[in-house]
Amino acid sequence: MLANLFHKSEKKTMIKRLGLRNIVSNGTEWRYLLFYEVDNPSKYDITEIINFLEEQRLSYLMYETKGGIHIVGLTPLTLTEYAIIFSALQTLVPEYMSGQTIRLSRKEGERQSLVFHNFDYPIIPNLLQIYVSRFFANGELKLFEEFQEHLITDTHWNIVPEKYWSYKK
């Protein structure tokens, strides 16, 4: 009987995907990126989440997949800024999400659609470039010209890719 508790009738296959860690470095200091996932967006008022994010002095993308809503901060934050925003977001939208890694590679057949974005605050260009090709007319560089004043160009922030394990569905 006890063995049945630990036996699953279906075996799930783990596959390695590419993820992105929520830390960036310019070679002298570390900063943090806000990553968040809302697994059941129908339970929440998305407008309330957008309003909260708009108050944070943070450039970000919010996109939707079959699994929910994903938030990717494009502005490097100090540890204190990150902790305050992440904690407040967890209070507003309590999800079981550590915020340390976000999946970059798409699952087979996955569709991602942009829900909202804000480019009014500092932006890490190489991080934005990853998402420009997904959400903006074949990655037109016109987007960069329009928001040039917010691109961080005085220092290069290195993003940190990592292996992301998930179940194949």
- Whether residue 167 is predicted with pLDDT greater than 70 in this model: the reply is no
Residue extents of the structural domains in the chain: 15-160
Residue 67 — pLDDT band, cuts 50, 70, 90? confident
Q: Under 8 Å CB-to-CB from 150, ≥6 apart: which residues?
A: 59, 119, 120, 121, 122, 123
| Rounded-to-integer distance, Cα 32 and Cα 34, Å | 7
Q: Give the bridge partners for 18, in sequence order.
A: 163
pLDDT tens per residue across span 101-158:
887 766 677 788 888 999 999 999 888 888 887 777 665 556 556 677 788 888 889 8
pLDDT given for residue 139 in this prediction:
53
Q: Give the bridge partners for 14, in sequence order.
A: 167
Q: What is the pTM of this model?
A: 0.82
E strand or H helix that includes residue 19: strand 14-25
The predicted model gives 72-79 an average pLDDT of: 96
Contact assessment for residue 41 and residue 71, using Cβ atoms and an 8 Å cutoff: no
| Residues composing the chain | 169
Contact assessment for residue 148 and residue 120, using Cβ atoms and an 8 Å cutoff: no
